[in-house]
Amino acid sequence: LATAGISEADIFAGRVTVEWRSFMKGQIARARAYFQQAEQGAAELNQESRWPQVWASLLLYRQILDEIEANGYDNFSKRAYVPKAKKLAALPKAYLRSLMPPPSSQRRR
């Protein structure tokens, strides 16, 4: 935080400054990179381990990042959450993703 120019006082006061937004953009980019790695790893699991819940979690947590952005990076006074309708809409996609064979097995064909 100090490197980003954010003080403890800024955090405790819940200040959404230019520095905070820049910091959060970087953290969200980093989280998305980790989600991408997790998705690649989950895709390589055997079918029995590729549960729809794994894919649903990946999809929903990514959507939380989108909500943080939509809230102007104000996660001090605004809760970033995925509405129930969006959660339900993600379930069929997660289920279908869990049924797809790993990319490595598709390359071998």
Residue 70 lies in a domain: yes
Domain of 83 in residue numbering reads as 8-108
Residue 41 lies in a domain: yes
Residue 85 lies in a domain: yes
pLDDT digits (tens, 9 = 90+) for 48-76: 777 777 888 888 999 999 999 999 999 99
* pLDDT range class, residue 45, cuts 50, 70, 90: confident
Rg of the Cα trace of the chain? 18
Q: What is the structure's pLDDT at 98?
A: 82
Q: Measuring CA to CA, how many Å separate 62 from each of 5, 69, 103?
A: 26, 11, 21
Q: Residue 20: enclosing H or E segment and its boundaries? A: helix 18-44
Residue 22 lies in a domain: yes
Number of domains in the chain: 1
Between CA 107 and CA 105 the distance in angstroms is 5
Residue 25 lies in a domain: yes
Residue 100 lies in a domain: yes
Average pLDDT, whole number, for the chain?
89
Task: Quickly tell me which residue has 């905070």 as its tokens.
Answer: 20
Residue 23 lies in a domain: yes
Asked if residue 40 has pLDDT above 90, the reply is no
Higher pLDDT, 103 or 12: 12
Secondary structure (3-state) at 74: coil
Residue 1 lies in a domain: no
Question: What number is the average pLDDT over the span 84-90?
Answer: 89
Q: What is the structure's pLDDT at 49?
A: 72
Task: Quickly tell me which residue has 């991408």 as its tokens.
Answer: 36
Asked if residue 27 has pLDDT above 80, the reply is yes
Asked if residue 42 has pLDDT above 90, the reply is no
Q: What is the structure's pLDDT at 101?
A: 80
